[in-house]
């Protein structure tokens, strides 16, 4: 039996990486997987949403967290013998941490697997400076690199490296249980799920929806006070013809229920890797309007046809026009949503995705 150390945030954390950790650990536990022994090393960050902090604070927390994480990894490797160490990464400023981790792992003669949960790898690898140098070195040192989208896969292959595999994210098994309940879709209800930050396109969404009558816009996700106040000020200054509700952070089961009830799921994000909320909306059969960033277009493509609607990031007029079109052509949107649901269950179920990881860990 192979022994694997999974290095990442605690499953109770926020964000896509924490969700992935939780799905993996829950699946291994509930299905009593004996083909591989996986231990989890939880590396917690001091604060979340560090990109919203001033530069000097970001630097302070980065040094603090990297030092703490490296020490914990060293102790874990010294105590236990692992065949592989699986690191989850969002790249960005974490490119230095990844390099330090992989260098440390290689000193213990374990095989390092770096799992990139982002869509920025091609740009970083094609760029210049220390980020490109560190990323290239990490890719070469790693036993395997895992990416979510075709562009990242091609970028690494074109760089002359063959130690890369593409594996998407899965949706939570809880969705399959919720799918058994009879929940009717509500008319003209629009749903957003994600961090309430500018990069998710939340300001464009609020502005696009502000002039559409007789709609309800429900916004789920962690809220930052600065963004929250700015949104409320914009609504106060410009008005909102329909109803808007800021739901905050809610349990996953409530989010899935909202996806079953919504007329449209809208995510006008600027940048993504392989967003869980998209595959979750697909699995819940909710019509989707989003942007063609990261792996999203791949996710929504079935038999060379889009099973959703794509708009350019940051374009309010185009987003408003697409929302109005879908509200007026809900039958067409429903057909696309059903195709997206079929793809989600065929390709992104937890069992289908986890079998790929177990095979990789057992190589």
Give pLDDT tens digits for 304-339: 999 999 999 999 999 999 999 999 999 999 999 999
Query: Does the pLDDT of residue 62 top 80, yes or no?
Result: no
- Residue 136 makes CB contacts below 8 A (sequence gap 6+) with 125, 159
Residue whose tokens read 């140098």: 133
Length reported for the chain: 363
Query: pLDDT grade, residue 48 (50/70/90)?
Result: low
Q: What is the pLDDT of residues 80-121, one digit of tens each?
A: 899 999 999 988 878 999 999 999 999 998 999 999 998 899
Q: What is the pLDDT of residues 138-188, one digit of tens each?
A: 999 999 999 999 999 999 999 999 999 999 999 887 888 787 777 789 999
**Distance, CA of 69 to CA of 41 (rounded, Å):** 9
**Distance, CA of 231 to CA of 191 (rounded, Å):** 16
Residues 186/310/318/117 CA torsion (nearest 10 deg): 100
Per the CB < 8 A criterion, the answer to whether 361 and 4 are in contact is yes
Comparing CA positions, the residue from 340, 329, 352 lying closest to residue 301 is 340
Q: What kind and span of H or E run contains 145?
A: strand 144-147
Cα end-to-end span (Å), the chain: 11
Q: What kind and span of H or E run contains 191?
A: strand 189-193
């Amino acid at each position: 039996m192979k022994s694997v150390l999974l290095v990442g945030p605690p499953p109770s954390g926020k964000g896509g990486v924490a969700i992935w950790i939780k799905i993996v650990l829950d699946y291994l536990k509930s299905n009593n997987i004996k083909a591989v022994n996986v231990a989890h090393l939880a590396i917690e960050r001091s604060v979340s949403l560090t990109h919203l902090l001033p530069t000097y604070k970001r630097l302070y927390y980065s040094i603090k967290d990297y030092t703490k994480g490296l020490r914990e990894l060293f102790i874990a490797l010294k105590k236990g013998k692992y065949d592989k160490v699986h690191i989850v990464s969002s790249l960005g400023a974490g490119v230095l941490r990844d390099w330090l981790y992989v260098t440390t792992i290689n000193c213990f003669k374990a095989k390092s697997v770096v799992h990139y949960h982002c869509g920025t790898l091609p740009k970083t690898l094609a760029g210049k400076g220390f980020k490109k140098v560190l990323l290239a070195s990490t890719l070469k040192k790693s036993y395997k690199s895992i990416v979510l989208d075709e562009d990242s896969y091609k970028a690494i292959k074109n760089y002359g490296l063959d130690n890369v595999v593409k594996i998407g994210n899965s949706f939570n098994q809880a969705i399959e249980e919720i799918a058994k309940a009879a929940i009717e879709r509500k008319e003209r209800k629009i749903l957003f799920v994600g961090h309430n930050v500018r990069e998710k396109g939340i300001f464009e969404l609020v502005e696009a929806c502000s002039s559409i009558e007789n709609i309800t816009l429900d916004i789920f996700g962690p809220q930052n006070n600065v963004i929250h106040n700015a949104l409320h000020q914009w609504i106060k200054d410009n008005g909102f013809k329909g109803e808007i509700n800021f739901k905050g952070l809610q349990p996953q089961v409530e989010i899935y229920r909202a996806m079953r009830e919504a007329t449209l799921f809208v995510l006008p994000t600027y940048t993504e890797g392989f967003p869980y909320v998209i595959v979750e909306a697909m699995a819940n059969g909710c019509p989707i309007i989003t942007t063609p960033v990261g792996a999203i277009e791949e996710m929504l493509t079935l038999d060379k046809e889009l099973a959703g609607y794509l708009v350019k990031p940051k374009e309010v007029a185009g987003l408003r026009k697409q929302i109005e079109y879908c509200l007026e052509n809900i039958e067409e949107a429903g057909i696309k949503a059903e195709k997206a649901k079929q793809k989600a269950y065929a390709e992104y179920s937890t069992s289908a995705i986890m079998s790929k990881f177990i095979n990789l860990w057992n190589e």
